[in-house]
Amino acid sequence: MDAQRVQVDYDQMADIYADDADRHPMNVSYERPAMLAMAGDVEGGRVLDVGCAAGALSEAFVARGASVVGIDVNARLVQRARERLGGRADFHVADISAAMPFLARAWFDVVSASLVLHYLADWAPALREFHRVLRADGSLLISTHHPIQDVEISEPPAPYFETTLLTDTWRKGGRDFEVRFYHRPLSAIVDALAEAGFLVERIPEPIPDPEAFADSPGLYEQMTRRPWFLFIRAVKKPATRQRDERS
Ligand SMILES: C[S@@+](CC[C@H](N)C(=O)[O-])C[C@H]1O[C@@H](n2cnc3c(N)ncnc32)[C@H](O)[C@@H]1O
């Protein structure tokens, strides 16, 4: 159900979204650098990039020496990712809410979930799969809509303490697109991680680079006044590390 809705929302703008995400300072100079900073040194490591879209972040991981598997539910965006990487990474069209039996357990050093989890009503199935495919000392990196930001942009303001489906209008390529996503309070996010066997290690709050946003002073001002995205680095809880490594 979530996946179908996301396909409808992203099908209408797949190429426009992909081109925009390659240029927009929000992606290029804010979100992606924050994800890469959380990942640290990935040279020689294995990265699973879920919600990979057209593969911009996958490409950055490959450039840093990682072996990358990207997953997205949108076939057109996966095609774009394959064209971009030309065989330097492996891509699958799949719904991360469902089991992903094509991924081996305890295989990845990093699972990167960049701006994708807010499309899921329930994070539990996806987080269980991330836990299964991560090595014992692996890390889960998340960027998602910040719950405070959801309340700010919604009209009428979203009820902070409820998990609610919201609709936002994105202006891209001179057109407006309606995109639906879930708001959830911070406690629900941390609880979902804890229940799936993760410990939150860091919540970085990057400050945008003023030069990157020189053409968007209004946006820059808003982004320095309140958090825009929520970034989380989580690790497997020690007590659950063996669980997914049993054959
Ligand atoms: C905002 S984009 C992610 C941007 C991307 N991480 C980047 O670095 O450019 C969100 C992506 O999540 C994908 N997506 C949403 N729900 C999904 C699901 N259930 N399974 C797999 N992909 C999903 C969408 O198709 C879309 O490509």
Residue spans of the domains in the chain: they are: 2-146+186-239
36 token code pair: 């890469």
**95 Cβ closer than 6 Å to some ligand 1 atom:** yes
Give 242's pLDDT tier (boundaries 50, 70, 90): low
Kindly state the DSSP code that residue 208 receives in the 8-state scheme. P
**115 Cβ closer than 6 Å to some ligand 1 atom:** yes
List of E strands, the chain: 46-50, 67-72, 90-93, 108-114, 134-145, 164-172, 175-183, 198-202, 229-236
- Average pLDDT (3-14) is 84
Atom of ligand 1 nearest to the CA of 114: 6
Atom of ligand 1 nearest to the CA of 96: 20
pLDDT at 1: 64
* Average pLDDT score, the chain: 94
Give per-residue pLDDT as tens, 131-184. 999 999 999 999 999 999 999 989 899 999 999 999 989 888 888 998 999 999
**78 Cβ closer than 6 Å to some ligand 1 atom:** no
**73 Cβ closer than 6 Å to some ligand 1 atom:** yes
Cis status, amide bond into 204, omega within 30 of 0: no
Atom of ligand 1 nearest to the CA of 58: 8
Give per-residue pLDDT as tens, 78-128. 999 999 999 999 999 999 999 999 999 999 999 999 999 999 999 999 999
Q: Please tell me the distance between residue 15's alpha carbon and the centre of ligand 1 in angstroms.
A: 13
- 2-146+186-239 has which CATH code? 3.40.50.150
Atom of ligand 1 nearest to the CA of 74: 25
Q: Please tell me the distance between residue 114's alpha carbon and the centre of ligand 1 in angstroms.
A: 7
pLDDT at residue 45 tops 70: yes
pLDDT at 173: 84
pLDDT at 172: 86
Torsion 63-30-76-103 (CA) sign: positive
**193 Cβ closer than 6 Å to some ligand 1 atom:** no
**179 Cβ closer than 6 Å to some ligand 1 atom:** no
